[in-house]
Chain A
Amino acid sequence: MYNARLIETLSLVMIMTSVAAVESRNLKRAATAYCLQALLICGLILAFAVGNPTLYVWAAVALVTKGVITPWLLLHYIARTGEEEARSIIGFGPSVLLASALLIASYTVTHHYVHFLAPTAEAAQGVFRTNLAVSMTVFALGLYGILSRRDAIKTVIGLCLLENAVHLSLVSLAPQMRETALIGIATEVVITVAMLLLVVAGIREQIGTTDTYELSELHW
């Protein structure tokens, strides 16, 4: 029933957009990669909607919150705080290698040990299994972005990736969940991102940079 080839292709491209969003040193390009990823997620959810019509609503929710509002917020604040990312902890070359290693490792591990995460037998098979492994890979890349970047905006992009992964994983994990719950989850993510960006813009105003290493007033 499901077009496995289509789902696999979209998934592969989507993982590539995650790497691009994490690794691009230009924040505008990273935000664009993020936007592209959100659109691919819509496509993926639509591919799954063949077997579950409620997912059309999910795809619409993802399109509005992740494909339109979040990228708009990101680009709006990037225009205010500057396009160039503050220096990363890890250099470009090593970081790409590290991200690739993480990508392969997390995909292999989650694909192999899928029964630890799959709540139903169906979720551990076929396209649902692929989807779950892909989601966890994007989650890991988002977490890597949050942990390894000094730039506050870049960290927020990492958080966005992580939330995209959560949204996508729900297709395998809880396809029977009601739309209201999903809208609640997606709306909160957008509000959180908006607040974080507001605070980051405030930081930029106060200390002249979005480099989180300069946030050193409070340690102990």
Chain B
Amino acid sequence: MHDVQSILPVLLCVIPAAMAVITYPLARAARPLGPALNLIGSAAVTALAVPLVLGAVDGMVFVSLDRELRVDALSALLVAAIAGISLAAALYAAPYMKLESLLARVSRSAQDEEGTTRRRLATFYALSQAFLATMLWAVTTNNIIMLYVSVEASTIASGLLVAFYWDRRSLEAAYKYLLLLTVGIAFALFGCVLLYASAVPHIPTDAGLRGMLISDLPAAAAQIPRGLALAILAFFIVGFGTKAGIAPFHPWLPDAHAEAPSPVSALLSGVMIKMAIYAMARTLGIFFPAAAYHPIALFVVVLSAFTMLLGGVMCMAQDDLKRLLAYSSVSQMGYIAMGIGLIWIGFGTTAGYLGGYGGLFHLINHALAKAALFLAVGAIIYSTGGARRASELRGLARRMPVTAVCFFVAALAIAGMPPFNGFWSKLTLYLAAAQAHLWWAFGIAIATSLLTLVALVRAGYLVFWSDAEVAEADSDVRDAPVAMLVPMGLLAALCVGIGVYPQALYPLLDPAARALAGIF
């Protein structure tokens, strides 16, 4: 690994932020400019992500602004996920946010309907870019205090996106979202500040290290007293865990992810919670491999096993498709967090490496599959004029063949079935749990996968296949427009592609997992 001075990380954060600023006035002046600028911003960051990923594969670490921003393999992985999913969501949002029945919800009670809709849409596109900027900032910042600031900024940027429809349900979701995440993240702030303050006296400044930089903090971590370090770790787990949807801090997640407009749901479930788990892995990683913190790693695995099981069970009870997907996200975050915990239980051994590799692999796979699923349910909402309950939808497979295929591919991928991508990441996680001799975690992980399979396939069956004849007779439902099918199809195709050729991600996942698991 070697540091390379680069302007790319700065551009990555500044471009979408600048887009956010110019989008609002321009989109208010001319409505088509909103989706166009949103697309341009997301395409620009995707283009910037390419050299970062290629560089990280070659062992480069990009740094800028006196190392305030730093992109190593782990950050590059997250940057690629965030940029890619945001591009898919931007492409999808352009037709989706024109849907009349949805816009009617927005301007329902307003006197000036056209003006209200226009203002609301301009806000939507501006905040989408702001949200993108804050997420990219969070995964590239190397400053422990700014990590808190950026994570909280992403909550602020997305709060009004959740409340977009401004009706009873979405306002309730937004209220819980803002309140719970702000309280939760206040704990993370304590963690960040305590870590910074307790590391400063021990940081070897004559070697050019600084106490505020995440990459320099491990040099001082060993000198922090154990009691204080445990408090800091607990603050990080509660703080970033709340944002990542780890149970029992998850109650905001199903509401927010279900009530937000579908492209926003894809971003929230696809990448925002991944950004939070990244923050958790990064900050916890500062203290490991010290054996003294072994119980904390075990605690993370216990919490994640609880999370996956709870999410899986709640998934079974849902009729609303978006809530079902949201609970499935809670459950899958459990798998990723389990991988992160296993890294330190088996630090320096195969178990740790497999945990890190499987966790990060599942992070990418879940981002792709869950975004595809939310886009597929969005397509159902689009085509049926707002229906999203499994019990009110019947036999859509003939009417919406592309959506049906995408839904099943992504659902089977999340359930961990071969030959899709989720199979490989879950297999890696099972192996990691077995190598660490945590058989209870191994059992819960497999059982939860079965629950997920049943819940998703059952919902898919009801919506797409049951009573096909009845539905055929009285339906004028058509599949969604091409601009919505393309991003959804691409995400589903990636699920298949990575499933067939899982080595494709190895060059990036390997250095990222090695960096976390301490194997060089």
Contacts and interface: CB of A to CB of B under 8 A. Distances in A.
Interface in B171-222: 171-175, 178-179, 182-183, 186, 189-190, 193-194, 196-198, 200-201, 212
B179 to A, nearest CB: 6
Contact of B149 (A159, A173, A188, A198): A188
7 contacts: A115-B225, A117-B194, A181-B146, A185-B145, A202-B163, A207-B168, A220-B254
B271 interface: no
Interface string A128-163: 000000000000000100100000100110010011
A116 B228 contact: yes
Given A217-B169, A220-B317, A120 B201 contact: yes
A162 B185 CA distance: 12
A41 to B, nearest CB: 16
B172 A217 contact: yes
Contact of A195 (B156, B212, B318): B156
B156 A191 contact: yes
Given A184-B149, A185-B145, A199-B159, A217 B168 contact: yes
B148 A155 contact: no
Interface in A183-220: 184-185, 188, 191-192, 195-196, 198-200, 202-203, 206-207, 212, 215, 217-218, 220
B145 A181 contact: yes
A107 B265 CA distance: 42
B194 to A, nearest CB: 5
A170 B163 CA distance: 33
Nearest to A182: B145
Most buried by A among B167, B179, B258: B179
Contacts of B72: none
Secondary structure type dominating chain B contacts: helix
Given A117-B228, A120-B201, A166-B186, A218 B173 contact: yes
Most buried by A among B169, B198, B225, B318: B198
A199 B174 contact: yes
B479 interface: no
Interface string A95-122: 0000000000000000000011111100
Contact of B198 (A119, A156, A207, A215): A119
A206 to B, nearest CB: 5
A142 to B, nearest CB: 9
A134 to B, nearest CB: 15
A173 B193 contact: yes
A152 B172 contact: no
A215 B314 CA distance: 21
B293 to A, nearest CB: 15
A188 to B, nearest CB: 5
B86 interface: no
Interface string B338-353: 0000000000000000
A174 interface: yes
Contacts of A196: 175, 178-179, 182
Contacts of A90: none
Most buried by B among A118, A143, A162, A220: A220
A203 B175 contact: yes
A177 interface: yes
Nearest to A174: B197
Given A116-B227, A184-B145, 5 more contacts: A184-B146, A185-B145, A196-B179, A206-B167, A217-B172
A192 B172 contact: no
Contact of A173 (B168, B178, B183, B197): B197
For chain A, which range describes its interface: under 10, 10 to 19, 20 to 34, or 35 or more residues? 35 or more
A117 B198 CA distance: 10
A54 interface: no
A176 interface: yes
B155 interface: yes
B126 to A, nearest CB: 14
B259 to A, nearest CB: 7
B231 interface: yes
B314 A220 contact: yes
A177 B168 contact: no
B221 to A, nearest CB: 13
B160 interface: yes
Interface in B316-373: 317-318, 323
Interface in B138-155: 143, 145-146, 148-149, 152-153, 155
Interface in B390-447: none
A220 B315 CA distance: 10
Given A184-B146, A206-B167, A115 B228 contact: yes
A188 B146 CA distance: 12
A185 B149 CA distance: 6
Contact of B163 (A146, A155, A159, A199): A199
Given A163-B186, A192-B182, A196-B178, A120 B168 contact: no
Given A116-B228, A181-B146, A199-B159, A218 B152 contact: no
A217 B259 CA distance: 11
Contacts of B179: 146, 155-156, 159, 196
Contacts of B182: 159, 192, 196
B196 A192 contact: no
B141 to A, nearest CB: 11
B189 A185 contact: yes
Contacts of B172: 203, 215, 217-218
Contacts of A184: 145-146, 149
B193 A177 contact: yes
A120 B197 contact: yes
B145 A199 contact: no
Contacts of A218: 169, 172-173, 254-255, 258-259
B167 to A, nearest CB: 6
A159 B225 CA distance: 31
Contact of B194 (A115, A119, A215): A119
A65 to B, nearest CB: 14
B149 A202 contact: no
B235 to A, nearest CB: 10
A220 to B, nearest CB: 6
